[in-house]
């Protein structure tokens, strides 16, 4: 009975990315913090949220992000995607390139990677990105590594870490489909929470389900319409 | 000479004006005089004479060595700078410039006003010029060197004006000049009076520099001598002349872009390259270039390409002429791809690429594309985004990481079996215990690319305790005869 209840609850909470309030319906600007700097789970999570699209992605990296966490690798991202890569040195240049990219309607998304807490990435700068994204209706994803979650104007703020992957269908030794622990800790439109996220390749969407170990999954922490700032 | 004087003044070593000074170059029999200042000329010093002879004439002579290559370079720069008066200019010998001012003199209020302006501009640079305007190159050469000050020669007066000049005004070789002097022909009029048949017969075998008949024909306009500029004239060029030298071209840029785009629109072209040139008052030209990925004639867009780079232009002490020219143009018809009038994605994307390229340089903006190779770092190539969208081959059959390190980083690995998977590894001073792995996937070196002795790689996809997934490889095998024990590297991260 208990397990059935959990099953039902999981079914209820299993929502596609398009139904996650704040990711695609409203919040066009999101900030994702990597729990571990060298972990590529953040990249997978962001790409799963964006989904496949014929339009190119503008991918802006500063120098440290490229050196420490590697460059996006097209054969791994899939042949369907097309990418416009911008490698710049300073975080201020990343923000400039992102702002210009958000003006352009021919892009499916703008991804920026900034290492640490540079002074250029102030509340004003993130607010500008948000306004620009909402004016142009282009999703903006800011990936931050080695950073602290201080003041930001992003609509949604996530913290993402890799989880042990799903079992491989044919090989018990091998890692299977990736799974991530995604925590939405600040959001303008939707209720913050924690989920186990995985990419549903067939439907091209992000599946969010409550993590197994969390007994208090249905407790509603946070309230609707919580402010993004802070 | 004057250039040398300027350089010396700048360094504070200028000799007094009344001291006879010459610049010398190395000749066959010791140094010869290349240029002399005014007091030296008054003392009877001729250029081309040997320095030792002239020392005998004028014992207090100061001799410095001339910088001939520097003079040539300065003249080349002046050649470009002189295009402020006309579209075409070429260098003439070691000390002259020829400007093709046909059709551009009226912009300056006539030829006399133009010559006065040219002289004033050059005197601001500290240079004296001898000017002449004539219908042919030869006549202009003769009048500038032997004629009146700022001589102007209408087309019907060429023979009349050239007549009294000495024969050396015909640009002839020294041997021919000597011969003509011995024949008693001292002026151009005297040469012109000799029957053509006799002249032709006498100089039948000499070529142009030594042939007075051909030179005379050139000067009189009977033999064409076009001014062929090295760089072709850009078809679309606008300029703005300023009353006073300024330092910042920004306020004029919008107007220039609009003018240029209006002309491009009229002709049905779009530009791929833009050159913004400022003509500085000190005789230099600074140029700023911008490129577009698709032909464009949108004034706002073109102006924005210069937005953050205008401070890279070197204004010197100010400039008083700005030109904007479309370097490469392509046919661009007016198209409407959508009926609802909404903005077009492709166009916006091309403009974004232009703006990013203008700001960060073409190397920073790239489109990754897949190549047909199994070696991971070769499977992805990059082309400059400004070149356009690439055509992709199919992707790899096996799973690949989403991120790849620029250079594989060496890790220290603990393994149970030498050929088997690792159990734990230390990367960036952190120990990771491996819980699951897939592999190995063996990738052999490409013998047609790699050096001999390159070792094969066995790739493992591993998952560590915390959940991160990495791509490790072992370089080589034990006892494969290509170096010592195999080393392990971390190459990428899986999502």
Look at A38 and B349 and tell me if their CB atoms are within 8 Å.
Answer: no
- In whole angstroms, give the CA distance from residue B87 to residue B85: 7
- DSSP class of B455: P
pLDDT of residue A227: 45
Nearest one of A55, A53, A46, A54 to A23, comparing CA atoms: A46
Residue tagged 């190459």 (tokens):
B491
User: B460-489: buried (b, 16+ CB within 10 Å) or exposed (e) per residue?
Assistant: bbbbbebbbbbbbbbbbbeeeeeeeebbbb
pLDDT of residue B373: 86
Q: Closest partner residue to B349 among A67, A106, A171, by Cβ?
A: A106
Please list every residue in chain A whose beta carbon sits closer than 8 Å to the beta carbon of residue B344: 106
- The percentage of residues in chain A with a pLDDT greater than 70, rounded to a whole number, is 80
The H or E element containing residue B118 is: helix B111-124
Nearest one of B2, B232, B221, B247 to B130, comparing CA atoms: B2
- In whole angstroms, give the CA distance from residue A157 to residue B19: 80
Terminal-to-terminal C-alpha distance of chain B:
71
- In whole angstroms, give the CA distance from residue A45 to residue A179: 9
The H or E element containing residue B175 is: helix B174-183
pLDDT of residue A225: 43
Q: Per DSSP, what are the bridge partners of residue B457?
A: B443, B475
The count of CB pairs under 8 A between chains A and B is 177
Nearest one of B370, B490, B366, B368 to B434, comparing CA atoms: B490
What does the pLDDT look like over B66-96, one tens digit per residue?
888 888 888 888 888 888 888 778 888 778 8
What does the pLDDT look like over B355-394, one tens digit per residue?
898 888 888 999 888 888 889 988 888 888 777 666 666 7
Look at B402 and A84 and tell me if their CB atoms are within 8 Å.
Answer: no
The H or E element containing residue A99 is: helix A91-102
Mean pLDDT of chain A: 81
Look at B436 and A104 and tell me if their CB atoms are within 8 Å.
Answer: no
Q: Closest partner residue to A79 among B343, B370, B469, by Cβ?
A: B370
- In whole angstroms, give the CA distance from residue B111 to residue B101: 9
Contact of B408 with chain A, judged by CB distance below 8 Å, is answered with no
Please list every residue in chain A whose beta carbon sits closer than 8 Å to the beta carbon of residue B369: 74
Closest residue, chain A, to B379 (C-alpha): A75
- Kindly report the nearest CA distance between residue B465 and chain A, in angstroms: 7
Mean pLDDT of A164-178: 91
Dihedral of CA B344/B350/B353/B354: which sign?
Answer: negative
Q: A41 with B377: CB under 8 angstroms?
A: no
Please list every residue in chain B whose beta carbon sits closer than 8 Å to the beta carbon of residue A96: 359
pLDDT of residue B372: 84
* Candidates A71, A73, A166, partner chain B, best to mutate (most B CBs within 10 A): A73
Q: Closest partner residue to B403 among A71, A96, A179, by Cβ?
A: A71
- In whole angstroms, give the CA distance from residue B313 to residue B315: 6
A213 versus B27: which is more confidently predicted?
Answer: B27
- DSSP class of B400: -
How do the pLDDT tens digits run along chain B, 495 residues long? 667 766 666 666 677 777 888 888 888 888 888 888 888 888 888 888 888 888 888 888 888 888 888 888 888 888 888 888 887 788 887 788 888 888 888 888 888 888 888 888 888 887 888 888 888 888 888 888 888 888 888 888 888 888 888 888 888 888 888 888 888 888 888 888 888 888 888 888 778 777 888 888 888 888 887 777 655 555 788 888 888 888 888 888 899 999 999 988 888 888 888 888 888 888 888 888 888 888 888 888 888 888 878 888 888 888 888 988 887 788 887 776 666 655 566 788 888 888 898 888 888 999 888 888 889 988 888 888 777 666 666 766 788 999 999 999 999 999 888 888 899 999 999 999 999 999 889 999 998 988 888 899 999 999 999 899 999 999 988 888 888 889 999 999 998
Look at A73 and B402 and tell me if their CB atoms are within 8 Å.
Answer: yes
Q: Say yes or no to pLDDT of A184 above 80.
A: yes
Which whole-number Å values give the CA distances from B412 to A185, B431, B487, in the listed order? Answer: 37, 9, 8
pLDDT of residue A1: 41
Look at B403 and A107 and tell me if their CB atoms are within 8 Å.
Answer: no
Please list every residue in chain A whose beta carbon sits closer than 8 Å to the beta carbon of residue B365: 84-86
Residues in chain A: 230
* Candidates B370, B399, B402, B441, partner chain A, best to mutate (most A CBs within 10 A): B402
Look at A103 and B348 and tell me if their CB atoms are within 8 Å.
Answer: yes
Look at B403 and A70 and tell me if their CB atoms are within 8 Å.
Answer: yes
Q: Say yes or no to pLDDT of A157 above 80.
A: yes
Q: Per DSSP, what are the bridge partners of residue B403?
A: A72, B493
Q: Closest partner residue to A41 among B351, B400, B495, by Cβ?
A: B495
- Kindly report the nearest CA distance between residue B412 and chain A, in angstroms: 17
* Candidates B365, B380, B432, B467, partner chain A, best to mutate (most A CBs within 10 A): B467
Look at A71 and B392 and tell me if their CB atoms are within 8 Å.
Answer: no
- In whole angstroms, give the CA distance from residue B98 to residue A157: 68
Q: Which of residues 218-277 of B touch A (CB under 8 A)?
A: none
Closest residue, chain A, to B395 (C-alpha): A79
The H or E element containing residue B140 is: helix B137-146
Q: Closest partner residue to A84 among B347, B385, B462, by Cβ?
A: B385
Q: Give the HSE-up count for residue B320: Cα atoms under 13 Å, Cβ half-sphere.
A: 10
Look at B469 and A69 and tell me if their CB atoms are within 8 Å.
Answer: no
pLDDT of residue B233: 54
Mean pLDDT of A195-209: 84
pLDDT of residue B462: 94
Model confidence at A73, pLDDT cuts 50, 70, 90, reads very high
User: B338-370: buried (b, 16+ CB within 10 Å) or exposed (e) per residue?
Assistant: eeeeeeebebbbbbbbbbbbbbbebebbbbbbb
β pairing state of B269-280 and B285-296: antiparallel
Q: Say yes or no to pLDDT of A74 above 60.
A: yes
Helices and strands of chain B, counted as H and E runs:
15, 20
β pairing state of A109-115 and A140-145: parallel
Closest residue, chain B, to A68 (C-alpha): B405
Look at A105 and B356 and tell me if their CB atoms are within 8 Å.
Answer: no
pLDDT of residue A226: 45
Please list every residue in chain A whose beta carbon sits closer than 8 Å to the beta carbon of residue B367: 56, 82-85
β pairing state of A109-115 and A83-87: unpaired
Look at A174 and B349 and tell me if their CB atoms are within 8 Å.
Answer: no
Cβ within 8 Å of residue B367, ≥6 positions away: A56, A82, A83, A84, A85, B382, B383, B384, B385, B389, B390
Task: Determine if the peptide bond prior to B440 is cis (ω within 30°).
Answer: yes
Look at A38 and B493 and tell me if their CB atoms are within 8 Å.
Answer: yes
Residue tagged 């500063």 (tokens):
A62
Q: Closest partner residue to B380 among A40, A73, A175, by Cβ?
A: A73
Contact of B482 with chain A, judged by CB distance below 8 Å, is answered with no
Is the ipTM reported for this complex over the cut 0.85?
Answer: no
The H or E element containing residue B38 is: helix B38-42
- Kindly report the nearest CA distance between residue A1 and chain B, in angstroms: 31
What does the pLDDT look like over A8-46, one tens digit per residue?
444 444 444 444 443 444 478 999 999 888 899 999 999
């Amino acid at each position: 009975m208990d397990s059935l209840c959990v099953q039902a609850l999981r079914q209820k909470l299993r929502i596609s990315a398009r139904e996650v309030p704040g990711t695609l319906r409203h919040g066009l600007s999101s900030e994702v913090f990597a729990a571990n700097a060298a972990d590529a789970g953040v990249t997978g999570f962001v790409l799963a949220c964006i989904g496949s699209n014929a339009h190119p992605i503008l991918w802006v990296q500063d120098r440290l992000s490229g050196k420490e966490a590697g460059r996006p690798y097209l054969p791994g991202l899939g042949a369907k995607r097309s990418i416009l890569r911008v490698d710049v040195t300073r975080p201020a240049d990343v923000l400039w390139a992102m702002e210009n990219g958000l003006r352009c309607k021919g892009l499916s998304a703008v991804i920026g990677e900034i290492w640490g807490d540079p002074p250029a990435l102030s509340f004003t700068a993130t607010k500008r990105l948000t306004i620009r994204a909402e004016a142009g209706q282009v999703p903006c994803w800011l990936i931050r590594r080695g950073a602290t979650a201080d003041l930001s104007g992003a609509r949604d703020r996530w913290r993402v870490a890799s989880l042990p992957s799903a079992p491989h269908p044919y090989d018990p030794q091998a890692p299977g489909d990736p799974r991530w622990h995604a925590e939405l800790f600040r959001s303008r439109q939707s209720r913050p929470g924690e989920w186990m996220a995985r990419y549903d390749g067939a439907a091209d969407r992000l599946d969010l389900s409550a993590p197994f170990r969390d007994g208090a999954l249905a407790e509603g922490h946070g309230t609707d319409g919580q402010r993004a700032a802070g | 000479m004057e250039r040398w004087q300027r350089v010396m003044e700048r360094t504070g070593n200028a000799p007094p004006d009344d001291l006879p000074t010459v610049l010398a170059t190395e000749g066959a029999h010791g140094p010869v005089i290349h240029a002399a200042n005014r007091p030296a000329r008054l003392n009877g010093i001729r250029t081309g004479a040997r320095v030792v002879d002239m020392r005998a004439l004028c014992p207090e002579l100061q001799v410095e060595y001339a910088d001939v290559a520097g003079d040539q370079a300065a003249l080349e720069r002046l050649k470009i700078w002189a295009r402020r008066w006309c579209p075409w200019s070429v260098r003439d010998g070691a000390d002259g410039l020829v400007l093709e001012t046909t059709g551009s003199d009226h912009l300056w209020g006539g030829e006399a006003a133009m010559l006065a302006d040219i002289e004033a501009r050059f005197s601001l640079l500290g240079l004296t010029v001898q000017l002449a305007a004539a219908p042919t190159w030869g006549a202009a050469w003769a009048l500038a060197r032997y004629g009146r000050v700022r001589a102007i020669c209408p087309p019907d007066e060429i023979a009349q004006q050239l007549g009294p000049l000495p024969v050396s005004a015909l640009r002839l070789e020294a041997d021919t000049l000597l011969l003509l002097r011995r024949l008693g022909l001292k002026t151009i009029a005297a040469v012109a009076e000799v029957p053509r048949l006799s002249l032709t017969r006498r100089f039948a075998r000499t070529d142009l520099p030594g042939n007075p008949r051909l030179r005379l024909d050139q000067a009189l306009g009977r033999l064409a001598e076009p001014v062929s500029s090295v760089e072709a004239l850009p078809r679309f060029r606008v300029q703005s002349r300023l009353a006073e030298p300024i330092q910042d071209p920004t306020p004029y840029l919008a107007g220039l872009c609009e003018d240029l785009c209006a002309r491009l629109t009229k002709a049905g072209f779009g530009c791929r390259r833009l050159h913004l040139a400022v003509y500085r008052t000190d005789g230099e030209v600074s140029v700023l270039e911008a490129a577009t990925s698709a032909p464009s004639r949108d004034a706002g867009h073109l102006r924005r390409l210069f937005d953050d780079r205008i401070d890279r232009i070197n204004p010197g002490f100010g400039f008083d002429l700005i030109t904007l020219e479309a370097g490469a143009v392509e046919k661009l018809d007016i198209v409407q791809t959508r009926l609802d009038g909404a903005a077009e994605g492709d166009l916006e994307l091309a403009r974004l690429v232009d703006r990013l390229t203008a700001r960060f340089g073409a190397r920073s903006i790239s489109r990754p594309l897949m190549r047909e190779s199994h070696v991971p770092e070769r499977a992805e190539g990059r082309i400059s985004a400004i070149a356009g969208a690439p055509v992709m081959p199919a992707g790899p059959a096996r799973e690949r990481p989403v991120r790849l390190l620029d250079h594989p980083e060496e890790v220290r690995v603990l393994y149970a079996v030498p050929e088997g998977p690792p159990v734990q590894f230390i990367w960036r001073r952190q120990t990771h215990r491996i819980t699951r792995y897939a592999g190995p996937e063996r990738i052999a070196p490409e013998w047609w690319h790699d050096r001999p002795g390159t070792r094969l790689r066995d790739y493992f996809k591993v998952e560590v305790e915390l959940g991160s997934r990495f791509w490790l490889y072992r370089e080589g095998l034990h006892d494969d005869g290509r170096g010592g024990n195999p080393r392990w590297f971390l190459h990428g991260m899986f999502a």
